[in-house]
């Protein structure tokens, strides 16, 4: 099987981007003082490094050859001092730059987290959350590497290279020119290597992406794999195709990668041999001193180190530009639902909800996203106007009324309740609660008076108690237990290993679907919402658990405005009013018996028994 092409964001390389650079500098600006100190220390360590071979020359020529023991002693002392200066400055500089790099990334992650928390649901509707998180983690790591190590390393390499060239030219022009003859050869080798290395880099990323994809697929589908006894077949495919391709690709890349440093070392050795041959002849002819020759040999060894390092840093620079573009693209993703500057806090809600000629459609313009993030669905612009999800909805719900929303999948039920929570704003019309247009009140003051229970309950890492307390942090243990008892969760919680202190992993691992749903009910009810939204909240529970929930809801929904989306007949028949939605429009509404008497859409759904 041919491996799939690598994801575009894994191979994206980018040249210099002044906007990315400017914004990176903006995040680094608070640490300007530490950066300047690190730069000064880098200059001192580079000077100490460049000075050391010259002190060897002085020791050989003026000390040993001249018989001046004082000069020899002084040269040795200065050499040791230079080593100490280099060691101390490097040690302090590395610690400072690690602090700068970690602080830089801390600030960047803070900004990303806040922005991701505030992004509208439309962003997550268009783009894969897992993909964005992966890119954020990888790209932030690239930026951290660049800020911590690459920035001053490049400056150090340039400074060291210039210092070595100046000293070599000052000592002997002829030997310097002989050394520099090898530079064109090195440039050609570097360019050729970079071409092949780039291609191999892409192949390696494609190979590991294929491995990760197959692993994730098999782990997620392990029940199906075992149910159909596919373990041997899947292992054979993974071993002979996926993993073997990854091994071969990495081995080929390693062979090519090994050629470059060995070629550079060979050129460096050839330059040393050439200088020793011609320089040795000059020493014999008394044209240069032995100290100059030895110093030149040492300088040649050090001359190629920064060149090698700068060549490797080029890829790091390109990766940083690409990573920065993706990170800042994410930070620039628009927050579509924002509080109006003049928005006021929502007073205590009574619970009257009015849809005033509400029309809603998803825009055909996709939100900004970092380069390479893969859309969750096609979002290509279209010349066609966006289709209405809801059209001219007029509905008034009285305080304390329970309204069941029914209709086929895609009719617009979930979109309707999302407008109540202001996860989206209407394209036309208004949604009012107690007469307040939701666009004129703050989101926080609105949502803290609402409770939402979804079809797929999500629990966070922590104890059962912490998950129930999630929406009301000040709640006491007695209040938590009372909420759990009200929804029928107390009995199963007390049977857990540590009761309410039992830890659950992200997503509620260790609890059944029904148990997770009961915990999410307790969480919503503990927050004491004035408006409660149940979005197919009982579709994932068994019949016995549903009876517990229905019994609890009969008491707990009293006095609260509630919107119930359900496909099960038993969930909707006891609602105060049933609203039937078809094609984004309200086609019927009334009680269960009234709608049956009409003999239209609801009666047809009833005849089919909804999902039952």
Kind of pairing between the strands at 428-433 and 577-582? unpaired
Specify the pTM.
0.73
Point out the domain boundary residue: 171, 194, 225.
171
Q: Are 180 and 216 members of one domain?
A: yes
Domain count, the chain: 3
The better pLDDT of the pair 587, 389 is held by 587
User: How sure is the predictor about 314, in pLDDT bands with cuts at 50, 70 and 90?
Assistant: confident
The fraction of the chain above a pLDDT of 90, given in percent, is 23
Predicted pLDDT of residue 84: 96
Q: Are 42 and 124 members of one domain?
A: yes
Across residues 153-171, what is the average pLDDT? 89
Give the pLDDT confidence of 69-102 residue by residue, as tens digits. Answer: 888 888 899 999 999 999 999 999 999 999 999 9
In the chain, DSSP finds a helix count (H) and a strand count (E) of 23, 12
Q: Is residue 209 part of a domain?
A: yes
Q: Are 566 and 527 members of one domain?
A: yes
Q: Are 92 and 231 members of one domain?
A: no
Give the pLDDT confidence of 414-467 residue by residue, as tens digits. Answer: 889 989 989 889 989 999 999 999 999 998 899 888 888 877 778 888 899 999
Predicted pLDDT of residue 468: 92
Predicted pLDDT of residue 129: 65
Domain extent, residue 281, equals 173-287
Range picked from 77-81, 120-124, 132-136, 607-611 for highest mean pLDDT: 77-81
Q: Is residue 314 part of a domain?
A: no
Q: Is residue 32 part of a domain?
A: yes
SS3 216: helix
Q: Is residue 600 part of a domain?
A: yes
Written as one string, the DSSP assignment of 510-521 is TS-HHHHHHHHH
Predicted pLDDT of residue 384: 52
Q: Is residue 317 part of a domain?
A: no
Q: For the domain that residue 133 is a member of, what is the CATH number? A: 1.20.1560.10
Written as one string, the DSSP assignment of 546-612 is HHHHHHHHHHHTTTSEEEEE-SSHHHHTTSSEEEEEETTEEEEEE-HHHHHHHTSHHHHHHHHTTT-
User: How sure is the predictor about 543, in pLDDT bands with cuts at 50, 70 and 90?
Assistant: low
Across residues 343-347, what is the average pLDDT? 91
Predicted pLDDT of residue 538: 62
Predicted pLDDT of residue 63: 67
Q: Are 183 and 261 members of one domain?
A: yes
Q: Are 275 and 406 members of one domain?
A: no
Q: Are 112 and 226 members of one domain?
A: no
Q: Is residue 480 part of a domain?
A: yes
Q: Which letter does DSSP use for residue 344 in this model? A: B
Give per-residue burial for 417-446: e unless 16+ CB within 10 Å, then b: bbbbbbbbebbebbbbbbebebbebebebb
Is residue 174 scored above 50 in pLDDT? yes
Across residues 536-560, what is the average pLDDT? 68
Q: Are 523 and 590 members of one domain?
A: yes
Q: Are 455 and 575 members of one domain?
A: yes
């Amino acid at each position: 099987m041919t491996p799939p092409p690598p994801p575009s964001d894994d191979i994206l390389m980018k040249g210099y981007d002044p906007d990315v650079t400017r914004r990176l500098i903006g995040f680094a600006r608070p640490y300007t003082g530490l950066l300047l100190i690190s730069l000064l220390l880098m200059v001192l360590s580079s000077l100490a490094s460049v000075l050391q071979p010259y002190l060897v020359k002085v020791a050989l020529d003026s000390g040993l050859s001249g018989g001046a023991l004082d000069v020899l002693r002084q040269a040795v002392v200065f050499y040791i001092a230079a080593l100490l200066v280099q060691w101390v400055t490097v040690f302090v500089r590395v610690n400072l730059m690690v602090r700068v790099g970690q602080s830089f990334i801390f600030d960047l992650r803070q900004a990303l987290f806040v922005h991701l928390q505030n992004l509208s649901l439309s962003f997550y509707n268009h783009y894969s959350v897992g993909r964005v998180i992966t890119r954020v983690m990888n790209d932030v790591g690239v930026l951290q590497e660049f800020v911590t190590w690459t920035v001053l390393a490049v400056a150090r390499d340039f400074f060291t290279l210039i210092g070595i060239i100046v000293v070599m030219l000052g000592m002997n022009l002829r030997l310097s020119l002989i050394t520099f003859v090898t530079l064109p050869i090195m440039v050609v080798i570097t360019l050729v290597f970079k071409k092949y290395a780039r291609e191999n880099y892409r192949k390696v990323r494609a190979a590991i992406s294929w491995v990760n994809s197959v692993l994730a697929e098999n782990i997620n589908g392990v029940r199906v794999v075992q149910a159909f006894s596919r373990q041997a077949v899947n292992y054979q495919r993974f071993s002979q195709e996926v993993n073997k391709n990854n091994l071969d690709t990495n081995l080929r890349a390693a062979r090519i990668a090994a050629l470059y440093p060995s070629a550079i070392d060979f050129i460096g050795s050839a330059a040393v041999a050439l200088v020793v041959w011609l320089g040795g002849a000059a020493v014999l002819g008394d044209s240069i001193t032995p100290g100059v020759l030895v110093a030149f040999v040492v300088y040649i060894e050090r001359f190629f180190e920064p060149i090698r390092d700068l060549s490797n840093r080029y890829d790091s620079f390109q990766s940083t530009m690409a990573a920065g573009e993706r990170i800042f693209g994410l930070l620039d993703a628009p927050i579509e639902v924002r509080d109006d500057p003049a928005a006021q806090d929502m007073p205590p809600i009574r619970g009257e909800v009015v849809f005033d000629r509400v029309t809603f459609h998803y825009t055909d313009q996709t939100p900004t996203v970092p380069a390479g993030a893969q859309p969750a669905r096609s979002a290509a612009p279209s010349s066609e106007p966006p289709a209405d999800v809801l059209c001219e909805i007029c509905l008034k719900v009285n305080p304390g009324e329970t309204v069941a929303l029914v209709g086929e999948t895609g009719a617009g039920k979930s979109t309707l309740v999302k407008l109540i929570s202001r996860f989206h704003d209407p394209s036309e019309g208004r949604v009012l609660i107690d007469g307040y247009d939701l666009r004129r009140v703050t989101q926080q003051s609105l949502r803290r008076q609402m409770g939402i229970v979804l079809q797929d309950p999500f629990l966070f890492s922590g104890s059962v108690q912490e998950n129930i307390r999630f929406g009301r942090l000040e709640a006491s243990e007695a209040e938590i237990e009372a909420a759990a008892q009200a929804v029928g969760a107390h009995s199963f919680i007390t049977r857990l290993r540590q009761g309410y202190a039992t830890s659950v992993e992200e997503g509620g691992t260790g609890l059944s679907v029904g148990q997770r749903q009961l915990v999410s009910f307790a969480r919503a009810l503990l927050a004491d919402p004035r408006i409660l939204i149940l979005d197919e909240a009982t579709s994932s529970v068994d019949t016995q658990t549903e009876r517990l929930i229905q019994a609890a809801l009969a008491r707990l929904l009293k006095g609260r405005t509630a919107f119930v989306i359900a496909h099960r007949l038993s969930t909707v028949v006891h609602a105060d009013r049933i609203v039937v939605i078809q094609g984004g429009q309200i086609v019927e509404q009334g009680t269960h018996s009234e709608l049956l008497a009409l003999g239209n859409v609801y009666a047809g759904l009833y005849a089919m028994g909804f999902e039952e």
